[in-house]
Amino acid sequence: MSPFTYDYSQRQGNQTDALQDFELCIATESEAAAVEVLKMHPEQYKVLPDIAEPNFYQPHKRNASRFHQISTEDGLELHLVTDARMGLTLGPAICQRGLTSANAHPEVAAYCRNVDDYELSSICFPTLPAFVRGWITLALRANGAPEELVYLMQAERLIDANDVDSAWCETHFTDERQCQEVKELLKGKRRRTIQSPSNWS
């Protein structure tokens, strides 16, 4: 079970966020097999060099395998990122399906147009608590390193884009340090969302 995460370009000035690449989160132990499967389909995926030096906002992509998706008009890339690099441990409990054009977030609705709901519903993606927990786990692990801020920003974007509060935090975060970190991010949510109307900024 390999869920899609996301990869949005950073907001610059008054430009809107845009889907930049696709991330596919895979189990660490399945990484080699996943790469081989994609290599077996050269008509769909062109092998690109691994990401040796990711940009500042994507430290979790270091050494990720990279493919050009030949079928996409915009030349999007597919990046394979292991669950360990995202602070996750993949399994049925942290993955979900059910995306449709009707329930897609407004920021990604455009990418769901002209796609059959059956196909959309088959896409697997992390549950919100798991996704936030992954970034918080990485932030705590970074412990003062520059990456800590990046991981907190990723968790912040998810929190700002969804209807969550302290009760939600206490329900889904049993680790006291993680719960406290999320509550700290929640304190600034109202200010951030007023300053930046887009929940993905």
pLDDT in tens, 130-164: 999 999 999 999 999 999 999 999 999 999 988 99
> With 50 as the cut, is the pLDDT of residue 35 above it?
yes
> Which tops the pLDDT comparison, 105 or 9?
105
d(CA 26, CA 84) in angstroms, rounded, equals 9
d(CA 132, CA 174) in angstroms, rounded, equals 13
> With 80 as the cut, is the pLDDT of residue 127 above it?
yes
Average pLDDT over residues 86-110: 87
> With 70 as the cut, is the pLDDT of residue 12 above it?
no
User: What does the block give as tokens for 20?
Assistant: 């930049």
Of 3, 21, 24, the closest CA to residue 124 belongs to 3
**Summary count for the chain: helices (H), strands (E):** 7, 6
d(CA 74, CA 127) in angstroms, rounded, equals 28
d(CA 181, CA 199) in angstroms, rounded, equals 19
**16 Cβ neighbours under 8 A, 6+ residues apart:** 198
Chain segment 83-97, per-residue pLDDT in tens: 999 999 999 999 999
User: What does the block give as tokens for 182?
Assistant: 């999320």
> Taking the model in full, what pTM does it have?
0.84
Average pLDDT over residues 117-133: 91
User: What does the block give as tokens for 190?
Assistant: 């109202």
